[in-house]
């Protein structure tokens, strides 16, 4: 009398098909995840820039003058001060406190990678210019 042996487990072909399907799903999911992550960073960065712009306007009103803060005042009195932010804004691209680069008066854009924020006032301090990368649509 012969006993029938029951096969247990999966065949090699079945395992390969499952691995192929998983590979395809991962191949589709990873680019979407990376795109969503980049969009989230950009949204957070631009929100932080808008908060800084709001603080610049608040500073101008609090001072009672028509002049905007110069670069040094922006970095010391506004961004790194508890008067305007309970916690300094964080750059989502670097994970550190937002840093501002002083713009050359002739500059028309900012150089640098994502998370770059540059600022300058006009010579009479009655206007200011901000350049960001990525572009946040702020004047």
pLDDT tens for residues 71-90? 999 988 898 888 889 888 99
Residue 36: predicted pLDDT: 96
Residue 93: predicted pLDDT: 94
Residue 13: predicted pLDDT: 94
CB count, 10 Å around CB of 93?
Answer: 18
Structure tokens at 61: 């009103």
**3 pLDDT band (50/70/90 cuts)?**
low
For the segment 20-27, the average pLDDT, to the nearest whole number, is 96
Residue 25: predicted pLDDT: 96
Among 19-23, 58-62, 114-118, the range of highest mean pLDDT: 19-23
Using omega within 30 degrees of 0 as the cis cutoff, is the peptide bond preceding 134 cis?
yes
Residue 81: predicted pLDDT: 82
The residue to which tokens 């990678």 are assigned: 113
pLDDT tens-digit series, residues 28-78: 999 999 999 999 999 999 999 999 999 999 999 998 888 999 999 998 889
Adjacent-strand bridge partners of 97: 90
CB count, 10 Å around CB of 15?
Answer: 11
Residue 8: predicted pLDDT: 79
Whether the predicted model's global pTM rises above the 0.85 cut: no
Q: List the Cα angle 103/109/55 in 5-degree steps.
A: 55
CB count, 10 Å around CB of 80?
Answer: 13
Q: Please, are residues 96 and 46 in contact by the beta-carbon 8 Å criterion?
A: no
């Amino acid at each position: 009398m012969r006993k029938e042996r029951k096969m247990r487990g999966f065949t090699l072909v079945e395992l390969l098909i499952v691995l192929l399907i998983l590979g395809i799903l991962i191949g589709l999911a990873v680019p979407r995840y990376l795109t969503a992550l980049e969009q989230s960073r950009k949204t957070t960065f631009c929100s932080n820039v808008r908060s800084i712009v709001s603080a610049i306007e608040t500073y101008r009103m609090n001072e009672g003058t028509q002049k905007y803060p110069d670069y040094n005042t922006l970095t010391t009195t506004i961004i790194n001060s508890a008067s305007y932010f309970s916690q300094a804004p964080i750059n989502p691209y670097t994970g550190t406190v937002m840093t501002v680069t002083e713009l050359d008066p002739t500059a028309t854009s900012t150089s640098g990678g994502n998370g770059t924020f540059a600022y300058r006032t006009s010579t009479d301090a009655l206007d200011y210019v901000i350049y960001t990368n990525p572009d946040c649509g702020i004047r």
